Structure 1
């Protein structure tokens, strides 16, 4: 049986791009420290350092443009009555899988960048860790969290009834 994975809304690319840009700007500021030090020492950087800095800027611009597209195309999730699967990654692709019966808590989080794009993440907590479905539109995140909560409640009720019958 082939699983029908869900893909993200296009808004996710913008969210990924902004998060990538913020991280890249911080990285570029750190890379600028030698230039700043040389400026205040009133000396010039070697020519190779300027070329390296220009290359770092070019690579950073490419990073901001290309990596969100790759992440977006690779990101997919699947939820049914039995399991929750999330596949994501840039260099290393991870596949997180949890049986629904092992999930004991569901939460929704919205960071500042997520809120700018109307996106949320659903976090399913198991004894082994968390499975996070990122970059979901808010109504979809609410719907997923609610349906998982109902399913978990049903499983707990069924387990309790089986336990009462065996007692």
Structure 2
């Protein structure tokens, strides 16, 4: 079996993913608060609201404190002359090899959360699929985009 890729994404990815998890945890908490208000005014049982609150808090702790660190630990990539090797996953580790000859275009993306931490994601598109290397440092993402573009262009010219 092939050796795992050696390059890692930025450590600030953990913080960015935690902020995103906080945002997605606040929404169900607001729904739980709404259930408490409805239970007060319409006099039905508080147990449903308590259950939703407990589940949301448990899910929040897992998705904010545990998942981002596990995700970061598994995310790796390696750029070779002939291929791009990507590894990711928490419970199920996926290893993908993208041949340079199949690369059609390469993009960098940056949303407001990634921008706050000076990170960007690299998206590699082929005819059939799109692959992403998330949360790279801005300079590293730009350099990788240019490197992959150059390698893919050389491969295309050789054919």
Fold-level similarity (TM above 0.5): yes
Contact residue 87 and residue 94 of structure 1 kept, 8 A:
yes
- Cα deviations by residue, 1:78-98 (Å, 9 ceiling, x for unpaired): 111111122222344333321
The equivalent of 1:15 in structure 2 is: 16
The equivalent of 2:25 in structure 1 is: 24
With 46-55 and 92-101 compared, the bigger mean Cα shift is at: 46-55
The equivalent of 1:83 in structure 2 is: 83
Change (3 A) 1:55 1:107: closer
Question: What is the rounded CA distance, in whole Å, between the counterparts of 2:5 and 2:90 in structure 1?
Answer: 22
Change (3 A) 1:89 1:26: farther
Question: What is the rounded CA distance, in whole Å, between the counterparts of 1:32 and 1:94 in structure 2?
Answer: 39
With 149-158 and 123-132 compared, the bigger mean Cα shift is at: 149-158
Contact residue 97 and residue 131 of structure 1 kept, 8 A:
no
Could you state the TM-score of these two structures normalised by the residue count of structure 2? 0.87
Q: How far did 1:45 drift? A: 3.3
Point out which structure has higher relative CO (alpha carbons under 8 A, 6+ apart): 2
Report 1:3-152 matches (<5 A). 4-41=5-42, 43=43, 45-47=45-47, 49-50=49-50, 53-152=53-152
Question: What is the rounded CA distance, in whole Å, between the counterparts of 1:133 and 1:22 in structure 2?
Answer: 22
Question: What is the rounded CA distance, in whole Å, between the counterparts of 1:75 and 1:47 in structure 2?
Answer: 40
With 55-64 and 92-101 compared, the bigger mean Cα shift is at: 55-64
Could you state the TM-score of these two structures normalised by the residue count of structure 1? 0.83
3-state SS of paired residue (1:127)? coil
In structure 2, the gaps of 5 or more residues are: none
Question: What is the rounded CA distance, in whole Å, between the counterparts of 1:14 and 1:30 in structure 2?
Answer: 25
Q: How far did 1:5 drift? A: 2.0
CA RMSD of aligned residues (A): 2.1
In structure 1, the gaps of 5 or more residues are: 160-167
Whichever of the two has the greater Rg, that structure is 1
With 9-18 and 49-58 compared, the bigger mean Cα shift is at: 49-58
